[in-house]
Amino acid sequence: MRSRVFRIHNKRGYMRLRMGVTIFLTVSVVMVGFLGACTPATEQPVPPVQSKLAFPVDITDQMGRQVRIEKMPESIVSLAPGNTEIIYVLGLEEKLVGVTEFCDYPEAAKGKPKVGGFSIVDIERVIEIQPDLVLAADIHKDEVIPQLEGLGLTVLALAPKTLGEVLDAIILVGKCTGQQEEAIHLVTEMGNRIKAITDKTRNLTQADRPRVFYIMWHEPLMTVGSDAQIHELIELAGGINIAQDLGEGYPTMNLEAVIIANPQVIVAGTSHGEGANLPYQFVLTEERLGDVDALVNGHVYEINTDFVGRPGPRMVDGLEQMARIIHPEIFGPIE
């Protein structure tokens, strides 16, 4: 899964500035917290490496809900792209019988039956499929989940907002589908890759952490706040998000404030379809940005938003790419 679906327009350079970040992402923490998340309804917790669970099992999902799974799921519907990617990396694709219109990775997911969009779910279609398990997301908590459960379906919510919670979600799905050994193996590998980055960035001084501006969109100028997944990746990769004090979510930032902050690195998110790289083109052509350090030194990049904004297994790829963008002197030049 070490994809390099991104274009870089810089070869090397040193990038510096402020702020230290305390990082404690380790696989062992994830294991302790989540290997016991699935408990047989009337028995003691199963050993972490047991290959088969005794059903029914009671699960605490990532919204804190108690969910009973009566039998080993043989058919699964995914209501979020990140959930779909987890299903595939765990080798459960044959059980996947429904996805959203936005579930576009891996390529095979595009051929699965559709059950609506991300926020707007075709409830009738899901009922028609009658899956053993529905993997929902936080966006579905108010309407979709109650509707599906009211109609007798089993719904498990995955709501990862950080890299650590993505690992948790993989462990949770693995436990609930009999793929816990595969999940442990995958999470261990992902954890090692994360640690390979954070071991080299955790002790960077403030002066060695470059100011980073991540642009999601240009009209209006939209960036990432302190609780966004992309903000976490910037910090773990050894940078400083210049928009971290603007609040949560995806705040707007006026151009004058960007110029005053004088980012040393600018990263533009690139999506799919027409206008996918407009934010990147905006940065390159906006004359008022011409004197900021990132433009002067050629440190302007674009990165696939699916890697950094989609809460799924490829976030580790996104972290590795962000680390190379921010600190090529540590992690090697961008290829």
Let me know if the fold of 27-190 is the same as that of 202-331. Answer: yes
Q: Please give the Cα distance from 62 to 172 (Å, whole number).
A: 9
Residue of 197 and 42 predicted with greater confidence: 197
Q: What Rg value do the Cα atoms of the chain yield, rounded?
A: 21
Ramachandran region, residue 21 (left: φ > 0; alpha: ψ -120 to 50; beta: rest)? beta
Ramachandran region, residue 247 (left: φ > 0; alpha: ψ -120 to 50; beta: rest)? left
Tokens of 312: 């799924």
Peptide bond into 48 cis (omega under 30): no
Q: Which CATH number fits domain 202-331: 3.90.1300.10, 3.40.50.1980, 2.30.30.830, 3.30.365.10?
A: 3.40.50.1980
Name the packing angle between helices 229-236 and 180-201 (round to 10°). 60
Enumerate residues 6+ apart whose C-beta is below 8 A from 32: none
Q: How confident is the model at residue 53 (pLDDT cuts 50, 70, 90)?
A: low
Q: Which residue has the tokens 């210049």?
A: 242
Count how many residues are written for the chain.
Answer: 335
- 178: exposed, middle or buried (Cβ count in 10 Å: 0-12, 13-18, 19+): middle
221-272 pLDDT per residue, tens: 999 999 999 999 999 999 999 999 998 899 999 999 999 999 999 999 998 7
Mean pLDDT of 16-23: 32
Question: In this predicted structure, what is the pLDDT of residue 77?
Answer: 98
Question: In this predicted structure, what is the pLDDT of residue 44?
Answer: 33
Q: Please give the Cα distance from 125 to 117 (Å, whole number).
A: 12
Question: In this predicted structure, what is the pLDDT of residue 5?
Answer: 34
First to last CA, the chain: 17
CATH topology assigned to domain 27-190: Rossmann fold (3.40.50)
Q: Which residues pair with 135 in a beta bridge?
A: 78, 156
Check pLDDT > 50 for residue 214.
Answer: yes
Check pLDDT > 50 for residue 33.
Answer: no
- The structure's pTM equals 0.84
Q: How confident is the model at residue 54 (pLDDT cuts 50, 70, 90)?
A: confident
Tokens of 42: 């009337």
Dihedral, CA of residue 257, residue 261, residue 264 and residue 265, to nearest 10? -40
Question: In this predicted structure, what is the pLDDT of residue 97?
Answer: 98
**CA atoms within a 13 Å half-sphere pointing along the CA-CB vector of 327:** 25
Question: In this predicted structure, what is the pLDDT of residue 271?
Answer: 81
Check pLDDT > 80 for residue 277.
Answer: yes
Question: In this predicted structure, what is the pLDDT of residue 12?
Answer: 31
303-319 pLDDT per residue, tens: 999 999 999 999 999 99
Q: How confident is the model at residue 273 (pLDDT cuts 50, 70, 90)?
A: low
Check pLDDT > 50 for residue 22.
Answer: no
Residue spans of the domains in the chain: they are 27-190, 202-331
